[in-house]
Amino acid sequence: MPENDVKPSHNLRLVGRKIVITGAASGIGLRTATLFMEEGASVILLDRNADALKAAHEGRHAVLTGVDITSENELAEAIADAAEITGGIDGVINAAGIMMTGPTAELSSQTWRQVIEVNLTGSFLVVQNCLPWLTRNDSATIVNVASGAGLLPNVPGLAAYAASKGGIIALTKALAADLAPNIRVNCVCPGMVDTPMADGFRANVGNYALKRIADPLEIARAMLFLTSSESSYVTGATLAVDGGRTFH
């Protein structure tokens, strides 16, 4: 089957849904976008790398927008234009993120700000700009991607990344309280996933109960559950999809 073909699922759990997915050019965001299209969703795919986004999804029925989620004016315009095309927005997947590591003593304030700006502030701005459309629906959903490092930052050099992902967990709970009852807000905390972000950490799977790295599809399926009606009584939850890293 050609790489850009999307095979429909027999379940079609997202038919009629209109969902924004950030970081959709690679990794977890890319696999989630494909899965959601298989499940019948209309998707708005955002990524700061417009060329990679086009290469990954060209030919698919999706709205593709190259945008930096930390640029407030650019993001607001991009979301408004995309919502006009799809006829609204009733779901968000905040999968965009960066990892920059280093000893705390050597961590520059610029690096700290960049990680927080992309991972935490960017996620907030995406939600805020989608709210005018989300609030028009009785069962809208938001799923944020945090990290096992936000639950248990037990690897050296992760101060900025762990702080940003811990912030995502707290933001999720605050949004769940703020936006209830019509908008459900949850987050997933992946462990190590088979994407370029895992390079340099792959030897650490011995700390995982399941003794292996995750496929991006395994994380995408968790976000499908939290986006679909199957999780209709779940909000404010933090779901560890980490192969047993945080309890092990």
Rounded distance between C-alpha atoms, residue 203 and residue 191, angstroms:
13
> For position 108, what pLDDT does the model report?
97
User: Active-site residue numbers?
Assistant: 161
pLDDT score, position 199: 78
Q: Which CATH architecture has domain 18-241?
A: 3-Layer(aba) Sandwich (3.40)
For the chain, give every domain's residue range: 18-241
Predicted confidence at residue 201, as pLDDT, reads 75
Model confidence at 154, in pLDDT bands (50, 70, 90)?
Answer: confident
Report which of 117, 146, 135 is spatially closest to residue 28, judged by C-alpha positions: 146
Q: pTM for this one?
A: 0.94
How large is the average pLDDT for residues 231-241? 98
Residue 181 preceded by cis peptide, ω within 30: yes
Query: Which residues partner with 241 through β-bridges?
Result: 190
For residue 157, give the 3-state DSSP assignment.
coil
Q: What is the pLDDT of residues 84-141, one digit of tens each?
A: 999 999 999 999 999 999 999 999 999 999 999 999 999 999 999 999 999 999 999 9
Residue 215, Cα to own-chain centre: how many angstroms?
Answer: 15
166-195 pLDDT tens trace: 999 999 999 999 999 999 999 999 999 998
Q: What is the secondary structure of the chain as a DSSP string?
A: --TT--PPPSS-TTTT-EEEEESTTSHHHHHHHHHHHHTT-EEEEEES-HHHHHHHHTTSSEEEEE--TT-HHHHHHHHHHHHHHHT---EEEE---------GGG--HHHHHHHHIIIIIHHHHHHHHHHHHHTT-SSEEEEEE--HHHH---STT-HHHHHHHHHHHHHHHHHHHHHTTTEEEEEEEE-SBSSGGGTTTGGGGGGSTT-SPBPHHHHHHHHHHHHSGGGTT--S-EEEESTTTTT-
- Give 3's pLDDT tier (boundaries 50, 70, 90): very low
The 10s digit of each residue's pLDDT in 70-81 is 999 999 999 999
Cα 68 to Cα 22: distance, rounded to the nearest angstrom = 10
Mean pLDDT over 149-158 rounds to: 92
Mean pLDDT, range 14-22, rounded to an integer: 98
